[in-house]
Amino acid sequence: MLEQTKVVMRLDGVPDHHRLDVYEANGGYAALRKAVKEMKPAEVIDEVKASGLLGKGGAGFPAGLKWSFVPKDHPGPKYLACNADEGEPGTFKDRWILEHNPHQMIEGCIIAAYAVGISHIYVYCRGEFYQGKEMIRRAAEEAYAKGYLGQNILGSGFSTELTVHTGAGSYECGEETALLTSLEGGRGHPKMKPPFPASEGAWRKPTVINNVETLATVPEIINRGAAWHAGLGTEKSKGIKMVCISGHVEKPGNYEVELGVPTLAIINDLAGGMKGGRALKGFFPGGSSTPVLPAAKADVGYDYESVAAAGSMLGSGALIVFDDKTDVVRMAEVITRFYTWESCGKCTPCREGTRWMLQIYERILKGGGRLEDVDLLLSICDHLEFKSFCPFGDAAVGVVRSTINLYRDEYEDYIRNHKVYKRKFMPVKH
C-alpha cells in the first residue's frame, strides 16, 4: 500500500499551521536560522544542488543549478520571482501551499534570496487566488514582524523584501519570462532567451524564477540535508512531488509521494481508485499540456524519465484521470479551446494554429467533420510543435496528437456518423 512522503505537506492536518506561531512550533524557520547563521550563501546553493531538487512547475530543471547561474559579482539588485501563477489545468498544489502552508514557502523564498543575494522577492500570484493572496500577505506581515523579512535578518546583515504581486487572468503568465513581462506591468508575452533571466530578467536584472512547491521544499532540504533529499526518488528524479489527482477518482486531492512510485498506486492507494468502480481509459500524467497515456501504461513510474520514456511528461504533477465513458473528442476540444483562448498571440504558429485546431474540433462536434480532418490535425501538430516562440505551442499539441493516436476510432466515429455533440451550454469569450 503506497504511503505518502510528506515534505511540503508535512504539517497537513495540523490546525492553523498557516500561522507563524503554529508554524514555528512545528519547526518552522529553523532552516532559515541554520542557513543565515551557519552557512555561507554559496554553501546553501551547493546544498540545494547536491540535493538534486528539480523545479516543480513543469520544466523539472535543477533548482540549485538555476540559482548558480546568477552572476555572483553583479552589483544588483537581484530578484526572486516566486511563480504562484498556477494555471496548468489539473494543478492545484500551489494553491494548497499558499492557503495552508504559506510560511514554508516564504521560508524557502528567504533562504533562496540569501543564497543568491536577492534583495526583493516578488510572489507573483494568480489574480484568481483571492484567498491565497490574502494568506501570503498575512504570513509576510507576520514574517516581517518577526524579523524574518526586511533589514538585517536574524542579525546576519542580509536584507530582503517580499511583495505579493497579482496577475489578472492569463495562463501564459505562468511561463517564466511572460511572468516577468507581466511583473514589469506589461502584457504577458514571453521574452527572448538568451539572455536568460538569471543574467537579465525582471527590469533587466538577474532574476531567479522558482515554483511555489520548489521553494517550499527548500527549508526541509536545509533542515534534513541534501543527502536525505537525494536519497529519495529515483536516480534521475530525486526527491518528492506533490501530485494533484483529479477527474474520475474517488478521492481527488493533493498527495505527496516519492518520485518514481507507480502511478497506478497513486490512483488506487491514495485516490481511492476509479470513481464508481468504472474502468480507467486514460490519464494526463502532468496536466493538460502533457500527452495522454493509455490505461495500459498506468503503472509507469511517476518520475520525469519514466513518464518521458512512456511518451509523455511529468509536468506539474497534475494527474487527470478519465474513465471509459469519457468522450475524448469533446475532452480534447475543451483543452484545445483553453489553449486558443489563452494564447498570448505573439507568435504566428501558436496564435493561428490553436484556433485552427479548435475550429476543426467544433466542426467535428457539430457533425461536419471530414475523414481528412484527423490527419489534418496531426499535420497542424507537426507544424506547430517546436516552432513557436515558447513551449505553449508544444503544450497545445499534446492532447490533440495523443488522443488521435490512442482513440482515432472515436474521432472517426464522430466523422463517419456525422455525430453531433449535444452541448449543454456554449462557452463565450469574455
Map the footprint of another protein across residues 176-215, applying CB under 8 A.
Answer: 182-188, 192, 203
Among 131, 152, 405, 417, binds another protein (CB under 8 A): 131
Q: Residues 6 or more apart from 359 whose CB is under 8 A from it?
A: none
The nearer residue to another protein, 42 or 371, going by C-beta atoms, is 371
Closer Cβ to another protein, 210 or 388, answer by number: 388
Between 82 and 111, how does the x/- string for binding to another protein read (CB under 8 A)?
Answer: ----xxxxxxx-xx----------------
Footprint of another protein on 311-340 (CB under 8 A): 318, 320, 322, 326, 330-331, 334-335, 338, 340
- Size of site (CB under 8 A) for another protein: 89
Pattern 145-164, another protein, x by CB under 8 A: ----------------x-x-
426: left (phi over 0), alpha (psi -120 to 50) or beta: beta
Q: For residues 310 and 297, is the Cβ–Cβ distance under 8 A?
A: yes
Q: Which residues pair with 113 in a beta bridge?
A: none
Which residues within the stretch 217-256 sit at the binding site for another protein (CB under 8 A)?
244-248, 252-254
Q: Judged by CB under 8 A, does residue 402 bind another protein? A: no
Instruction: Please report, as residue ranges, which positions from 111 to 130 form the binding site for another protein (by CB under 8 A).
Output: 120, 126-130
- Tell me how far apart the alpha carbons of residues 116 and 110 are, in angstroms, rounded to a whole number: 10
The answer to the question of residue 344 lying near another protein (CB under 8 A) is: yes
425 binds another protein (CB under 8 A): yes
Chain position carrying cell 504570513: 139
Of 22, 352, 412, 419, the one binding another protein by CB under 8 A: 352
Task: Work out whether the CA dihedral 182, 183, 186, 190 comes out positive or negative.
Answer: negative
Describe the chain by its helix, strand, coil percentages, rounded to 5. Answer: 45, 15, 40
Shortest distance (Å) from residue 326 CB to another protein: 7
Give counts: helices (H), strands (E), the chain: 16, 9
- When binding is defined by CB under 8 A, the residue of 349, 365, 397, 400 that contacts another protein is 349
291 binds another protein (CB under 8 A): no
C-alpha cell at 236: 534521475
Interaction of residue 13 with another protein, rule CB under 8 A: no
CB of 230 to another protein, least distance (A): 27
Which DSSP letter does residue 155 get? Answer: G
- Give, as one character, the DSSP assignment of residue 246: E
CB of 322 to another protein, least distance (A): 6
In the complex with another protein, the residue whose CB is nearer, 24 or 128, is 128
* Cα end-to-end span (Å), the chain: 46
> Cis ω on the peptide bond leading into residue 194 (within 30° of 0)?
yes
CB of 67 to another protein, least distance (A): 22
Binding positions for another protein, 374-393, rule CB under 8 A: 376, 379, 382-383, 386-389
Q: Closest approach of Cβ 379 to another protein, in Å?
A: 8
- What DSSP assignment string belongs to 379-425? HHHHHHTTTSSSTHHHHHHHHHHHHHHHHHHHHHHHHHTT-----S-
- Judged by beta carbon, residue 168 or residue 296, the one nearer another protein is 168
Report helix angle 93-100 to 102-116, nearest 10.
Answer: 100
Q: By CB under 8 A, is residue 171 in contact with another protein?
A: yes
Q: Name which of 307, 414, 297 is nearest 365 in CA terms.
A: 414
* Residues in a beta bridge with 256: 242
